[in-house]
Structure 1
């Protein structure tokens, strides 16, 4: 096991005291677990979140990369959601048009199951290469197979050169511990192609801190960015930031950049000015977390005391973090519902909850359905109505 990091992985400022600690949390949230005993005995790790006073980056000082695992059994996709599919289709089309990528080549680092790269090719990119240890080429739609290449591996070991007109990286940087070093590797892999557009998407940590969203803090996410710390990292590692915004109900950050040959400070974006507010948010986070956790524990107890049943909707990272944080009260939740068929009849890491398809709710007849992401409330509500399940639907 590695020891605590003593300096900021983004800017090397000496570390200060953590503002939030947790122990015994599952080290993977999206690995498919085939039996309940394995789920209950799933490996755990510890977490100590530190705010860098220099650049505003937040990281898990106790993160040990040897404890995490990424493989074909890593089932992270949200692609079975119509709401999510609409989002990635619109984003892919927007990026393709704004950066003149029709007829061009796209490389995606951390492509997951490939949905986004598929949408970029469908929108007009000539070809694409995606790299991810969990990619399943056999699940890629036939209409783009002859224009795409899929590498089951890691950047940069298995894809050392990023010879492309666009480099895309979505929901991967938060899984990288040495973020400064890794971003310099991205810049080096692009080489002299300063016309390449670099397009990243990742969670916005400001929302997590402000809302006390303990369900968005989990082991695989060892790195946490705000708009300001993300822009500062890109500029420090050889990029000119040309776009910075929030998306998906302000849950995600989008950053658009180009490789630079000399440092380019650039004009700061308004949303970068966040360090004073960030310091206040981190100071409040532990108390906000406790308040939110008390609410959901009380809610679960209320339903159980009245003879009702509860389920969560969403068996991914948020679901694992939510159930793990509930502790003994997690046993009051009957099951985890998911629309992804690859997860059905598997078990939640750490708590052993069975993952079931929505149709199972006709048998469970829950009093309470807790959506792990409020963005999907409309979609979930329609599914419940179609099933004839009259339950109270609430969101984290």
Structure 2
């Protein structure tokens, strides 16, 4: 995933460490813990140049809690002082043809749906800027990208002159959101005081109630239902369902226009506009969408057991390969890969390497586990018997790449 983060260590200190009792989304004290895990890397996508540094990477604790009032899930032990977002943060999925097709389609949808052709947009947490580039190609006249990890030199020349970059954070380095659309993709899950931050977004838009507010982030309901331990990691301190996300938006001054899931049902997308009357109203259509708290609570109750079962299944699978004299690798060295290897514990060495198509990661090391990140072509030397895709959405793409290397291997997905 994009995993962008427009939230600085300094801001986090200003807001204080996350309250261990009250819900950061609604303020309710009706929260209960349902899953805890210690010794996890505090960052997943920072580039690490040597194995020893990777092995000694700072660790933190997860203590996931559910708010039974609004359905929000959050890490009660999240410490924002660990935040170290910078140009060394390498989160992009933009080297994947599938992902590029997805963002091009989403950009085209938003430009058409909100009449953004010839207009100006701002993206909070723009990462490497690929999505803003697609917005320009879809017809917007100009865009501003705000992110501490931007690399303007990577942007294609055909759109570069229409884009401006702020190498920093919202709101510290870019306080006003004077635009026809405010975009924020895979950023809100990295922010602890979510309600306070969303109110800051609303205030920064000001009187422009015609501004389209377009967010994308992971869907935690799928994670809970599947026991997807590879999608739970320290940087993600805030987790949303369709219901809890809609409730947050309405509570912080937005009217919801549309909410849906995309990208193999992994992502939540919400489209809204600012209101002038405080809390946004609830339409009958969205009342049905938001009625999910009981189901989320049940899924949270099942998560720890499903999580343990899923880890055990992969530990067994890796041992089988190793006992037969074979070798295993994971495909995907981002957050999912870091979480997967961390969860394996003492069995992590059964994985020989992490494969990634992003050339900026090659020769670097995975935070926490110390696995070397290799280019796909290096698999001809490793000759793996098992390749584990960290995201099932990329199975076809990975399979095509493996076929091009003429490798005889088994490809499976988490």
**Selected match of 2:379 from 361, 365, 384:** 361
Q: C-alpha separation between the residues in 2 aligned to 1:242 and 1:280?
A: 28
Q: C-alpha separation between the residues in 2 aligned to 1:143 and 1:56?
A: 44
Q: Tell me, yes or no, if structure 1 residue 317 matches structure 2 residue 332.
A: no
CA RMSD after TM alignment: 1.0
**Selected match of 2:235 from 220, 231, 250:** 220
Which residue in 1 is equivalent to 2:364? Answer: 346
Which residue in 2 is equivalent to 1:202? Answer: 217
Q: C-alpha separation between the residues in 1 aligned to 2:32 and 2:318?
A: 34
Instruction: Give me the TM-score of the superposition, normalised by structure 1.
Output: 0.99
What do the CA deviations read for 1:86-120 (whole angstroms, capped 9, x no partner)?
00000000010011000010100000000000000
Which residue in 2 is equivalent to 1:179? Answer: 194
Q: Tell me, yes or no, if structure 1 residue 104 matches structure 2 residue 104.
A: no
**Selected match of 1:264 from 280, 283, 287:** 280
Q: C-alpha separation between the residues in 2 aligned to 1:293 and 1:9?
A: 30
Q: C-alpha separation between the residues in 2 aligned to 1:266 and 1:177?
A: 25
Q: 1:5 deviation in Å?
A: 2.0
Which residue in 2 is equivalent to 1:113? Answer: 128
Q: Tell me, yes or no, if structure 1 residue 230 matches structure 2 residue 248.
A: no
Q: 1:68 deviation in Å?
A: 2.1
- Structure 1, unpaired ranges of 5+: none
Between the two proteins, the alignment pairs up a number of residues equal to: 396
Instruction: Give me the TM-score of the superposition, normalised by structure 2.
Output: 0.94
Which residue in 2 is equivalent to 1:333? Answer: 351
**C-alpha contact 1:338 1:358 (8 A) present in aligned 2:** yes
- Structure 2, unpaired ranges of 5+: 1-15
Q: 1:273 deviation in Å?
A: 1.9
Q: C-alpha separation between the residues in 1 aligned to 2:60 and 2:348?
A: 19
What do the CA deviations read for 1:55-99 (whole angstroms, capped 9, x no partner)?
100000000000121000000000000000000000000010011
Q: Tell me, yes or no, if structure 1 residue 377 matches structure 2 residue 403.
A: no
SS in structure 2 at match of 1:19: strand
What do the CA deviations read for 1:312-347 (whole angstroms, capped 9, x no partner)?
000000000000100111100000000000000000
Which residue in 2 is equivalent to 1:76? Answer: 91
**C-alpha contact 2:144 2:164 (8 A) present in aligned 1:** yes
Q: C-alpha separation between the residues in 1 aligned to 2:83 and 2:382?
A: 34
